[in-house]
């Protein structure tokens, strides 16, 4: 399905990254003015709350959002919510809300790592939804394939276009599709969708390791170039 993104740049966004958890997941603190959103709290949510207070003094968290339901991206949500209080809403896609408990059980069985099950979502996100905070807005793009309900959170800000992409995209590659709910064709189509709709200068903040841009991926990522055929 085609979608419309608002490309008008407004507001300023500051981003802090904390890498933690058993497989080194990136948790992002996105701050605009005195409001913030925490994206993909991986592990030890109470410690993430402490790190947020140290790095972002004066800002309050208005939402906790997970790009997908795998255990290493939701494992800190319960502790983070305890630390921040019950009024901070937890958000995830409608499709991936249903796989959270299974994903935690799968990680326990496969690798021996245990995570706490997140609270019930306060808001289920779907394509086209928006999450405003401060003077910026996150726009939700559905990108299934790594999981059934993976999403990308795009922000057109005066400080630059940014997309929180979870594990859908890796530099030159894509997230694994051999876990429960993974689908190779879907993830390639999702990469093509990102390449078609996101500006080439978009900084892609990834679930593990470093960053890339849409422009770089259009040049070097053969999976994205294959996916583009779906949109041309």
Q: Region 205-218: what's the mean pLDDT?
A: 98
d(CA 165, CA 129): 16
Please, which pLDDT band fits residue 2 given cuts at 50, 70 and 90? low
pTM above 0.85, yes or no: yes
Contact 77, 89 (CB under 8 A): no
The answer to whether 93 touches 145, Cβ cutoff 8 Å, is: no
C-alpha separations of 185 from 21, 115, 181, 191 in Å = 29, 29, 12, 10
What's the pLDDT at 130?
98
For residue 160, list its beta bridge partners: 157
- List, for residues 59-110, the tens digit of each pLDDT value: 999 999 999 999 999 999 999 999 999 999 999 999 999 999 999 999 899 8
Cα 197 from chain centre: 17
Share above pLDDT 90 across residues of the chain, in percent, rounded to a whole number: 91
Neighbours of 174 (CB within 10 A): 23
């Amino acid at each position: 399905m085609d979608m419309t993104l608002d490309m008008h740049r407004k507001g300023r966004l500051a981003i802090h990254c904390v890498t933690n958890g058993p497989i080194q997941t990136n948790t992002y603190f996105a701050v605009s003015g005195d409001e913030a959103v925490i994206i993909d709290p991986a592990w030890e949510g109470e410690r993430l709350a402490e790190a947020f207070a140290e790095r972002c003094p004066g800002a309050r968290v208005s939402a906790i959002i997970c790009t997908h339901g795998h255990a290493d991206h939701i494992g800190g949500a319960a502790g983070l919510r305890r630390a921040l209080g019950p009024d901070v809403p937890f958000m995830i896609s409608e499709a991936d809300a249903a796989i959270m408990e299974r994903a935690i059980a799968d990680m326990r069985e496969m690798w021996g790592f245990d995570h706490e099950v997140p609270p019930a979502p306060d808001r289920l996100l779907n394509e086209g939804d928006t999450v405003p905070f401060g003077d910026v807005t996150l726009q939700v793009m559905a990108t299934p394939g790594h999981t059934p309900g993976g999403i990308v959170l795009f922000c057109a800000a005066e400080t630059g276009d940014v997309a929180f992409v979870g594990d859908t995209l890796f530099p030159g590659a894509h997230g694994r599709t051999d876990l429960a709910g993974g689908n190779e064709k879907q993830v390639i189509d999702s990469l093509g969708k990102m390449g078609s709709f996101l500006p080439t200068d978009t900084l892609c903040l990834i679930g593990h390791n470093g960053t890339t841009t849409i422009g770089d991926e259009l040049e070097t990522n053969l999976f994205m170039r294959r996916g583009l055929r779906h949109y041309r």
